[in-house]
Structures are given as structure tokens and as C-alpha cells.
Structure 1
Amino acid sequence: MKLTANGIQIEVEDSGGEGRPVVLLIMGLGMQLIAWPEDFVRTLVDAGFRVVRHDNRDIGLSQGFDEAGAGNLVWQSVRHRIGLPVRSAYKLQDMADDALGVLDGLGIRRAHVVGASMGGMIAQRLAAGAPQRIASLVSIMSSSGARNLPGPRPDVAAALMRRPASRTEAALVAHSLGVVRLIASPAYPEDERTLAERIARGLRRAYRPGGIVRQMLAIGADNDRHALLGGISSPTLVLHGEADPLVPIACGQDTARRIPGARFVSVPGMGHDLPPPVCDILLQHIIPFMQTVEKHA
């Protein structure tokens, strides 16, 4: 369903019914709400939670910003490397305001917020800016954004900058599959056919390459978030894979160090994806964490 949130149209999925504690799931760069595996959502619902997912702005079925142009990613990357401000069509704070608008549109007063990768960055801003609305924060394979942290492995960074050979579905799937192979969890490989089918399903739902670039620039422009993390008062759980080649584990460790009282859990063999065994491991930490918060609310 579509909601007006923060003045724009946002696509939302709402599972589990009213009267339950709410979990808001925020996905990462270029990823649609369907990137949260159905089994992940179902397990949360079976544990007694109401689960809300949304497409971030400029991705999936939510409102786009094509009129802003895609921007020059290479030039803005150079600016970022030498410490100059990155110019972006919108900010991660705007995306956090979108997420808050989703809660407003559904009449939800408080929610547990779970963010993956860029979604973790958005969730951090949400927890820092609207503490009264956040029951707890779970930041998965994300970063504080501090400048001294390590970046992606060189081959991963190069793959992110490459363009598909063409815009046919086969070429787009092959391109995405190449990136997924590089960042996947080495201890939990998924069947390639299953991955290709999942990628194709996402492409058929929506293909928004300009939105991915604008979201990348929004991440690059978000250079002060680390300074806000010390003000987060919500109970916080930070989860990170030990084999993450896109957002190295030092980024998650730094996030947890900056948030008062945050608990950090590293996951051996986990990269930068959510295969079923990794989801099971994450939920073994997330569900008891949120249930404890509810018990003491």
C-alpha cells in the first residue's frame, strides 16, 4: 500500500496485525522492501511482533527523484576522498524522516527499528533524532560513518562502480549476481539459481538505477552522523559479519563503541547478505533482545 510520509509517497508492507509491538525494518542501498526475506518477517510475526517494511525513497515502488538527476558519482567520490562535501539530491536524514512518516501514517507511537547496511545508518539517525519513538535500535552490517574507518575491499568497490553490459534482464541479473557473489557470506553460500531468481523478481518489481546513485551520494554526504551516536538513549544491538567485504567489521565495532550501552555481536562467516542461516543467527539475537526491552518497557 502507498502512504504519504514526510510529504512523499512511500510503499509499505504491514504484517502481523495491530495490538502487537512493532518492528520497523529499513533496508539498505538500492534494496527494496522485498529484500527482507519472507522467512525473516514470518519469524518475527510468529514471535508476536507486527512487522512494517517500506521501500526507501527513490527505490522500489516509492516516489522517485529522477528530476534531480543522477549526479556525477565518480567526481563526488573524488570529493569525498579528499574531504570535500559530497553534493546529494537528499540526505539520509530525509530518509529517516520518511521512516518516521511511515510510523505516523500507520498511527504507530513507538517501534523497534532494525536497519541493514544503509538502513542501519538511517535507523541510527532515527534513534538519535526521535528517541521517544524508538523502543530499541538494531544496526546490522552498518557503520557510524566516521572518516577513519576502512572502506570496501578494492574489488568490491570496483564492482559497484561498473555498469551492466546492457539493460536486458539477463545482463542486469548477471551484473547483480557478480556483485552479490563478491559480498556474499563465505560460510553460507546460496544456490546461484535461487539468487538469480530473486534478483530477477526484484528487477521486475522495479528497476531504478538513478535512485541507487542518488542513495550512494546521500551516504557519502552523511559526514556527521558519528557525532550524533553518543546521544542515542535507546537500547541498542549491533550485529556484524566477520567476513564482510563491503562494510568491514571495524565499522560495526565503531558504531557500538559510540552508542552508550550498545551490545556488539560478531557473526563468523557472515558477509554482506542475508542467506537463511545468517537470518536464523541474527534472529536468535534480535528476538530475545526486543522481548527483553518489551518486558522492561
Structure 2
Amino acid sequence: MEESITNNDMAALQTKTLQSGIVMAYRSKPIDHKRPTLVLFHSFLMDSRLYEPQFEDPVYGEYNLIAIDEHGHGGSRGRSDFTFWDTASDGLELLTMLEVDRFFVLGTSQGGFIALRMALLAPERVTGLILVGTNADSETPQNVSIFRDGRDKWCETRVPTREALLGKSVSFGGPEVVGEARYAEICERWISRHAGPQGYDPALNCLCERDSLLERLPEITASTLVLHGTNDKVYSVDLARSWSARLGNLSQFVVVDGGYHYLSFVPPGLESCRKHIPDFIDSLQT
């Protein structure tokens, strides 16, 4: 079963119902199976629209882009309690329904958690991994405390306060970086999808309670590109260097001077991704 939801900004939001009855939402233009496919997983409290810049950029026009709404975000429905393994597994089923056998997978922040798990679940299907502003370990107690404090501020009112919204925007530099109009759109989506404990807690619990993959990183044999910004306030460059060194096939580690946590979304990370991602994909085409 498939449904198309009108959207004028980028590829339309579509849904497919899995055998389990779970509804997975995604954005994609018509798929050309002769072209490489790049699957995109977004960051916390965002959705597939995080990759609007890539859908609009002709540099990515040679690839099929498929941006998936993760459980607890966007238009995906059907799981009230979930892990990143669930999103990876359901994403694989969605790609099978779309008749996409092999693909590259890119994840920003928690999207990287899903990309790594997808590579472990189906190594024969993942041609290459692109990990952006992410982490392979479980969350530290310090970060869990910070995240839960942020949750309390977010949920202390029926609609998140201006201060709470601004606190979340640090990951992409706030309205000063994205502009007031785009920031207002993001805030509207945050309020409509994530206001209150019912909209916030399932996604936060998934984030805070995830398992570590450090011991399994050598199993990942897909060629991997890692990009990380020096202005990432959540995970440091040193941390990213540490876990990425354990990957089974690290192709390149790119440090982006001044890059934010949501590296692929805004400058200067946007430009760095624009250069390194197509080069990486093209280098693996035979």
C-alpha cells in the first residue's frame, strides 16, 4: 500500500505499509535503477526534510536519493516503542519493497546509528557508508543527563518555549545560520510532531538507551567515509577519530573546520559534504 502526501519543497513524502502493518514514510523522486542509490537517515527531532539541500542540489542529481523518516519522527507510524535496530530493519524492508537491492547509506547524528546497524544487518546490500557527525558508542551518562534536562525544559509547557526551541537549534547553528524563515518552519514541525512527552519521550528513550557498537565495528566491511565538524557540540572530533579507527574499512576521515553537528544541513559542512560525498560514491562505482 502506498500513499503520496503533497509537498512542494522537495520530493513528495510517500508511505509504504510493511508486512507488520508499520507505516514507513520516505521521500524520493522516481527511482532509476541504473543509477547509484543513496539512502539518507536524519538526526534527532528532524525528519527527511533535513536533506532538502541535497534534493535541490544538481551535484546529487546522478543518484537516487531516498530519505527515510525514522520511527518517532516525521510521517512514519506504527511503533510506540522502538530501537535504532528497528528502524534499520524496517528501512531494509522498505528498500526491498522499492526494489532497491544495493545502496549507499548516509546518516547524520542518530541517522549514523541507524546506518551502522543497517550495515551490520545486511552487509551484502550496503555498498558504502557515509557517517556524518555521529558516534558508534552508547551514550555517555553525562550526555544522557544533558539530554534529559533538555527534555524537562521542552516538556514543562504544552508548547515548547522559545528558549527550549533555541536550545535544540544549537546543532545547526540556530536562526542566525539557517535564516529566520527556515528556522520558523523547523519550529513549527517540532511543535506539531514533538510537543509534550508523547511526542518527545519515545525518540529520546531510543537515543539514550541505545547499545554500543564499538566491539562490532571491525565486522563492517563496507567502505566508509566519516565527516565531522569542529563546531559539533555533541560529539567531538577526537571521539569520532577514536571509534572510526575501529571500522573494518575506513576510506577517509574528513574534519570540517567550523562544521556543526548537523553537518550536512548548513554551511560550512554543506559544502564539504557536497565535495566529498559524490567523490566517495563515484570512486566505488565499477
Q: Secondary structure at the match of 1:177?
A: helix
Q: Select between 44-53 and 159-168 the one with higher mean Cα deviation.
A: 159-168
Match of residue 131 from structure 2: 139
**Within 2, Cα distance between the matches of 1:47 and 1:91?**
32
User: Where do residues 1-297 of structure 1 align in structure 2 (5 Å cutoff)?
Assistant: 1-5=14-18, 7=20, 8-15=22-29, 17-19=31-33, 20-36=35-51, 38-43=52-57, 46-66=60-80, 89-145=81-137, 152=143, 158-164=149-155, 166-168=157-159, 171=160, 174-180=163-169, 182-185=170-173, 189-203=176-190, 206-207=193-194, 209-262=197-250, 263-273=252-262, 274-294=265-285, 296=286
**Within 1, Cα distance between the matches of 2:178 and 2:105?**
30
Give the conservation status (yes or no) of the 8 Å contact 1:150–1:250: no
**Within 2, Cα distance between the matches of 1:234 and 1:160?**
36
Match of residue 75 from structure 1: none
Note closer, same or farther for the CA distance 1:141–1:5 as it changes in structure 2 (3 Å cut): farther
Match of residue 3 from structure 2: none
Note closer, same or farther for the CA distance 1:56–1:126 as it changes in structure 2 (3 Å cut): same
- Cα offsets for 1:118-142 (capped at 9, x unmatched): 1101100111221111010001000
Task: Please tell me the residue identity of whatever aligns with 2:214.
Answer: H
Note closer, same or farther for the CA distance 1:191–1:39 as it changes in structure 2 (3 Å cut): closer
- Structure 2 gap ranges (5+): 1-13
**Within 2, Cα distance between the matches of 1:6 and 1:216?**
26
**Within 2, Cα distance between the matches of 1:175 and 1:279?**
25
Match of residue 84 from structure 1: none
Task: Please tell me the residue identity of whatever aligns with 1:260.
Answer: G
Note closer, same or farther for the CA distance 1:281–1:252 as it changes in structure 2 (3 Å cut): same
Total equivalences in the alignment: 267
Note closer, same or farther for the CA distance 1:219–1:6 as it changes in structure 2 (3 Å cut): farther
Note closer, same or farther for the CA distance 1:291–1:191 as it changes in structure 2 (3 Å cut): closer
> How far does residue 153 in structure 1 lie from its aligned partner after superposition?
11
Task: Please tell me the residue identity of whatever aligns with 2:180.
Answer: R
**Within 1, Cα distance between the matches of 2:30 and 2:271?**
19
**Within 2, Cα distance between the matches of 1:52 and 1:161?**
34
Q: With the length of structure 2 as denominator, give the TM-score of the two structures.
A: 0.82
> How far does residue 62 in structure 1 lie from its aligned partner after superposition?
0.9
**Within 2, Cα distance between the matches of 1:142 and 1:185?**
17
Note closer, same or farther for the CA distance 1:175–1:243 as it changes in structure 2 (3 Å cut): same
- Structure 1 gap ranges (5+): 67-88
> How far does residue 199 in structure 1 lie from its aligned partner after superposition?
1.4
Task: Please tell me the residue identity of whatever aligns with 2:282.
Answer: Q
Give the conservation status (yes or no) of the 8 Å contact 1:150–1:251: no
What fraction of aligned residue pairs are identical, expressed as a percent?
Answer: 22
**Within 2, Cα distance between the matches of 1:159 and 1:48?**
40
Note closer, same or farther for the CA distance 1:230–1:95 as it changes in structure 2 (3 Å cut): same
Q: Secondary structure at the match of 1:194?
A: helix
- Cα offsets for 1:4-33 (capped at 9, x unmatched): 246210111112532321110011222211
Give the conservation status (yes or no) of the 8 Å contact 2:103–2:126: yes
Q: Select between 25-34 and 230-239 the one with higher mean Cα deviation.
A: 25-34
The higher relative CO (CA closer than 8 Å, separation ≥ 6) is in 1
Note closer, same or farther for the CA distance 1:226–1:211 as it changes in structure 2 (3 Å cut): farther
**Within 2, Cα distance between the matches of 1:278 and 1:90?**
30
Note closer, same or farther for the CA distance 1:44–1:164 as it changes in structure 2 (3 Å cut): farther
